[in-house]
Structure 1
Amino acid sequence: MKRRDLIKTLGISAVGLATVPFWIDSWTAEELPEANGDINDDQKLMLAGMVDTIIPATDTPGAKELEVDRFVLVMVNDCFEKEVQKEFAAGFNSVDEASKDQYGKAFVELSGAERHEILNKMLATEKSSDKKISFVPFVKDLTIAGYTTSKYVLENILDYEQVPSRWDGSFPVNQEKYYNA
């Protein structure tokens, strides 16, 4: 492994560990602060389409319904350095260019299958040698983190109970198993 790659990986891991207290607690869209960054409304729509493509709605709400795109924006604006924020904002252009090259339409105008194909293609080919982040994998990781830590998913799908949880001090014990050893 190259030294630069190792340092980059360790740096991103350190940022992830620093934000663990935020991820441990569940969140809802109403609790998130407004993300004030370099992202315009078209890019916000594109991000909503990306998170919807990454985790679509089935019999449970998808990432778009849980407003994971807002979570991604808050994480980028509050937890990453300015250089990463600028690369994140510039990454939308690469996705839009790829969709226009392949389909002749902007990313937000594509169908779900076409969006999925564009993101998979970029996920497989995108390598960041001179950049701090690879845009599509970065968005995918933050989308998964946001979805799995949302209040809806933790309470309704994972049956997670916030600490200190409940304590049941009165339950039957098989005495033969513990006292006749």
Structure 2
Amino acid sequence: MLNRRDAFRGLALTMGMVSVGFAGPAAAALPPLNWTPAALDAEQARALDAAAELIIPRTDTPGAREAKVPQFVDRAIATYCEPAQAQLLKSGLTQMDADARAAHGVVFAALKPAQQAELLTRYEQEAIAARKAWKPRHFFSVLKEYVTIGYFTSEPGATLALNYDPVPGEYHGCIPLADVGRAWAL
């Protein structure tokens, strides 16, 4: 007789085989997201994560992924963007996966870094051409803008990638005017 533990083990094994069979080897190789998207689906979030890391890669300073830029962009799409701009970004991320599948048979996040860079270079050229022709903004120019804002307003971006100089500096109250000298004019 089959007990509950064996039934669940069999069900889990069957579901695991079915999900790998339907998703294919490329999807099984993708690492899981370590955050939960608010506005994007999982595929769009993975494409955003890979693209953000290519736009601002890890060097001697943290990259976009370490600065949590994909989460920032997702949150901006969910709470800040106007519906038309949110749709532009979402459809652009979906288009990245479609273009990657058409060219290489796998989603954008599963491509090799050189293939990802090639695709992003094409989008950059399309964005430049759209700007020169006074056409509506290309999704990639909007994506780069949000990635850049997200990175340089993050703690690692603001303190490690940029020179951090807290203004107005330290506060020293009750000091003689002679120690200060002349006052500043604006």
Q: Do Structure 1 and Structure 2 share a fold, with TM-score over 0.5?
A: yes
Normalised to the residue count of structure 2, the TM-score between the two structures is 0.63
Q: Distance in 2 between matches of 1:160 and 1:94?
A: 38
Q: What residue identity is the alignment partner of 2:68? A: E
Q: What residue identity is the alignment partner of 1:56? A: P
What is the count of residue pairs matched by the alignment? 139
Preserved CA contact (<8 Å) 2:158 2:164: yes
Give the superposed CA RMSD.
3.0
**Displacement after TM superposition at 1:132 (Å):** 5.4
**Displacement after TM superposition at 1:136 (Å):** 1.1
Q: What residue identity is the alignment partner of 1:112? A: P
Point out the more displaced range, 109-118 or 121-130.
121-130
Larger radius of gyration: 2
Q: In percent, how many aligned pairs have the same letter?
A: 25
The answer as to 2:151 corresponding to 1:156 is no
Preserved CA contact (<8 Å) 2:67 2:157: no
* Residues 41 and 35 of structure 1, relative CA distance in 2, 3 Å threshold: closer
- Structure 2, unaligned stretches of length 5 or more? 1-35, 182-186
3-state secondary structure, aligned to 2:63: coil
The answer as to 2:88 corresponding to 1:87 is yes
* Residues 147 and 105 of structure 1, relative CA distance in 2, 3 Å threshold: same
Partner of 1:42: 43
User: Relative contact order, CA 8 A, sep 6+: which one is greater?
Assistant: 1
Partner of 1:22: none
Normalised to the residue count of structure 1, the TM-score between the two structures is 0.65
Partner of 1:143: 147
3-state secondary structure, aligned to 2:67: coil
- Structure 1, unaligned stretches of length 5 or more? 1-33, 176-181
